[in-house]
């Protein structure tokens, strides 16, 4: 019985230790969407944090990178942006066609971007295309991005916070940031298991002391 109790408490201690490690290093992910077309990766970001509001100024920017991470500035490309309210027929005229201008976003400078205002809530299709100003610099491309627009409040939109990591050049991906908040199930479970482990270690000490007293 005593051996079984020791094994159980030991397992609880190891489990609580692993929960503590997970809580200390939460998994994070970028809110950007990255698509790879030929030799160019295009990262799309709609401010703020892909949650634009109808009737409020919105900034959209596009980060073009080559393999190896070299950024392609707008000065090296001719780019266009067309916005349509979904659903729409292929080839239909765009609802908005904002001018693509060089902007500074996060730690990137002179990258393609545009300022626009979505007229109403709903789902919009953004078609972004670029061609090199110098033949052979990169392959011309066009990508589609979906933006979901919520109801507006009239509040100004602040630029997104500075990035700490460069986007990864891979297949298209998008994931919301994830973190462990105080009071969440993970942190509560870790606290409970840690408490049980401490109590168990104390009990093991008492059993050992009792055994030594008998011997």
User: Does the domain formed by 33-149 have CATH 2.60.40.3340?
Assistant: yes
pLDDT beyond 90 at 142? yes
pLDDT tens-place string over residues 20-62: 323 332 322 345 789 999 999 999 999 988 889 999 999 999 9
CB 30 within 8 A of CB 175: yes
The pLDDT assigned to 171 comes to: 40
Closest CA to 61 of 49, 47, 41, 76: 47
pLDDT tens-place string over residues 67-123: 889 999 999 999 999 999 999 888 899 999 999 999 999 899 999 999 999 999 999
Distance of CA 64 to the CA centre of its chain: 18
CA distances (Å), origin 30, targets 25, 43, 74, 165, 176: 16, 11, 23, 9, 7
Tokens representing 120? Answer: 């109403």
Domain boundaries, the chain: 2-27+181-214, 33-149
CA distances (Å), origin 73, targets 8, 21, 66, 95, 206: 60, 41, 11, 27, 69
Residue 135 — pLDDT band, cuts 50, 70, 90?
A: very high
The pLDDT assigned to 33 comes to: 85
Angle at 64 between CA 158 and CA 164, to 5 degrees: 50
The whole-model pTM stands at: 0.58
pLDDT beyond 70 at 138? yes
Residue 202 — pLDDT band, cuts 50, 70, 90?
A: low
Higher pLDDT, 177 or 204: 204
């Amino acid at each position: 019985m005593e051996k079984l109790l020791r094994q159980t408490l030991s397992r609880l201690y190891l489990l609580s230790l692993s929960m503590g490690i997970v809580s200390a290093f939460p998994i994070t992910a970028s809110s950007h969407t990255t698509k790879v077309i030929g030799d160019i990766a295009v990262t799309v970001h709609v401010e703020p944090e892909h949650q634009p509001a109808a009737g409020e100024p919105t900034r959209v920017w596009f980060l073009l990178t080559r393999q190896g991470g070299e950024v392609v500035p707008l000065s090296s490309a001719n780019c266009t942006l067309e916005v349509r309210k979904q659903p729409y027929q292929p080839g239909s005229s765009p609802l908005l066609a904002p001018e693509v201008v060089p902007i500074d976003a996060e730690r990137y400078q002179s990258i393609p971007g545009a300022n626009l205002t979505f007229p109403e809530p709903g789902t919009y299709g953004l078609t972004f295309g670029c061609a090199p100003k110098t033949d052979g610099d990169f392959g011309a491309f066009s990508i589609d991005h979906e933006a979901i627009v919520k109801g507006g409040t009239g509040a100004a939109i602040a630029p997104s916070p500075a990035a700490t990591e460069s986007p990864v050049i891979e297949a298209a991906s998008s994931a919301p940031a994830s973190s462990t908040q105080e009071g969440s199930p993970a942190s509560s479970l870790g606290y409970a298991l840690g408490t049980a482990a401490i109590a168990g270690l104390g009990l093991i000490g008492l059993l050992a002391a009792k055994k030594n007293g008998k011997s």
